[in-house]
Amino acid sequence: MNGKRYTDDELLLLSGIQHFCFCKRQWALIHVEQQWQDNLRTQEGHFIHERVDDPFINESRGDVIISRAFPLISYSLGLTGVADAVEFVRSDTGIPISSHDGRWLVKPIEYKRGRPKVDERDEVQLCAQVICLEEMFGVRIKAADFYYNEIRRRQHLNITDDLRSHVFSLASEMHEIFQKGITPDAEMGKHCSLCSLRDICVPKLTKKKKNVRNYIARYVSEGIAPNGSILGLSDHPD
């Protein structure tokens, strides 16, 4: 929403915004340091997506067309990726699409394992998909849907202005960290037990290192060494 337009060379993976929302360090380990480690959750997620991601399948169900593995891009977010599925629903208030008569409303569908999460990482990913589709088709999309495998039903998501602004803010921060090539320090929390990169991240060790750095930095800023002496003054002057 700041008017910035990214180039093709600057595009980041859209799927990363979910990692970034969950943990900035996790995102950097995957997208900056190029590390990855599957756990049961990611393996189940791959299985669910494999059932959906067939780029050669387009289904027609009456007044609904379902296009799977739909490519996405947004130069305002600087993100590119693939939507699990995009529904085109026949409507007089929709837009024309190639190879089909009539007018159609556009709605992305994101498939997820498990149940709806207590945090917002799923929402920001789906909203990012919406923003991509809006740029690509020149439309305004007010809502999108999740399908959660564990509860086997759809969950509706309203695309609010606040959610859009949050997505733009996250995407901007992703680009800033990526350009600097830095990996944020770990922030220990309950989410660490769910992370597939916990053994690589070693958040307890990272936190200890951070505490040591902060300890030393505090004494340096105050001009006092950890042993209590004043920095810059020798105990044995010449």
pTM above 0.85, yes or no: no
Q: Which domains does the chain have, with CATH numbers?
A: 8-183 (3.90.320.10)
Give which of 109, 42, 103, 104 is closest to 72, Cα–Cα: 109
Residues 6 or more apart whose CB falls under 8 angstroms from that of 53 comprise 68, 69, 82, 84
- The C-alpha atoms of residue 147 and residue 150 are separated, in whole angstroms, by 9
- The C-alpha atoms of residue 151 and residue 46 are separated, in whole angstroms, by 18
Query: pLDDT tens per residue, the chain (238 residues)?
Result: 667 899 999 999 999 999 899 888 888 888 787 776 554 445 444 544 554 455 445 788 889 999 988 999 999 999 999 999 999 999 999 999 887 889 999 999 999 888 888 789 999 999 999 999 999 999 999 999 999 888 888 899 999 999 999 999 999 999 999 999 888 776 766 666 666 666 666 655 555 444 444 444 554 455 555 455 554 544 444 4
Orientation of helix 24-31 relative to helix 161-180, angle to 10°: 50
